[in-house]
Amino acid sequence: MKVLAVGCGEQLRQAREAAGLTVADVAGRLHMPVQVVAALEAEQWERLGAPVFVRGQLRSYAKLLGVELDGLLEQARIAPVEPPKLVSHTHTPRLRRMAENLGRRAVYVVITAVLAVPAWYAFQGKFGDSAPNTASLDVVPDPASLAATQPAVAPDEPAARPRPAAERTPYIASIAPVARPSAEAAPAASAMTLDFRGESWVEVSAPDGAVIEKALVRAGEKRSYAAGQVGRMVVGNASEVELRRNGGSVDLTTYARGNNVARFTVSSDGSVAPVSH
């Protein structure tokens, strides 16, 4: 008589019943829906999403019951985990980049020459060799400073006659900006870190929707991001991932609606909130 090998799901079911637990008890302890636990015991992998989720959920279930599944996972007929293929969609030849940079610099030089040369000739033709006095528009010169620029008169000499308007040195209004005290630098935004205790995957998007990272992550690895760098995150196998920010820990299972996948948004100050849709 041929003895059939016991599969992963059947072994988990037997271990659960031997421990005196119901499907609902296991679902509550693992923070999984009851349907997911039932699908694991029935080995209905197609109902559980990507292979990486199935393997992570099986390991979590086995760890709860103290069952060794490493040998049985090879018999579970779960599709292997394949890393995503990164395809480059844009490529600019080196010679073309150099030509574009030289063209932009040439345009800047021409614009500067067109604006600066006529202004220099006009300035030299109007004021000649005498250097004009300049005064900022933000500061009005007081009478004492104006008198200091006139030549001194000896006590026994008659008072000098006022200089004609044509002989007076003109004042040129300066539009140069006045130096202002710089504001204090804003404190550096705190970073957030993901610690992966088990195999998982992440999809990280910037506040403008651009994808920063989308990859499979092995157990024991970490990912760190600046607080203003991330706008949204999707984390698989959330029960095996720990999020740390501002020195504290965030429970990602509270943001997992089903299949142990956490979806949440990150504000500019690093606070985390569940996805609204």
51 found inside a domain: yes
Q: Could you report the average pLDDT of every consecutive run of 10 residues in the chain (277 residues)? A: 61 88 91 90 83 85 82 62 54 84 88 84 66 52 55 53 53 51 44 88 90 90 86 86 84 80 83 78
Question: So what's the pLDDT on residue 257?
Answer: 73
Domain that holds residue 19: 8-73
Name the CA radius of gyration of the chain, rounded.
37
Domain boundary among 21, 53, 73: 73
CB 237 within 8 A of CB 56: yes
207 found inside a domain: yes
pLDDT tens-digit series, residues 215-250: 889 999 999 888 788 888 888 888 889 888 877 888
Smallest Cα–Cα separation from 57: which of 81, 72, 41, 71? 41
Domain boundary among 34, 50, 73: 73
Domain boundary among 17, 48, 73: 73
> CATH no. for residue 52?
1.10.260.40
168 found inside a domain: no
Question: So what's the pLDDT on residue 56?
Answer: 87
Smallest Cα–Cα separation from 205: which of 166, 179, 231? 231
Q: How many domains does the chain have?
A: 2
Q: Record the tokens describing residue 32, joined without a space.
A: 């999984």
182 found inside a domain: no
Question: So what's the pLDDT on residue 221?
Answer: 94
Question: So what's the pLDDT on residue 170?
Answer: 55
267 found inside a domain: yes
**How many Å apart are CA 101 and CA 122, to the nearest integer?**
33
69 found inside a domain: yes
Q: Which residue has the tokens 């760098």?
A: 229
pTM confidence score: 0.33
129 found inside a domain: no
92 found inside a domain: no
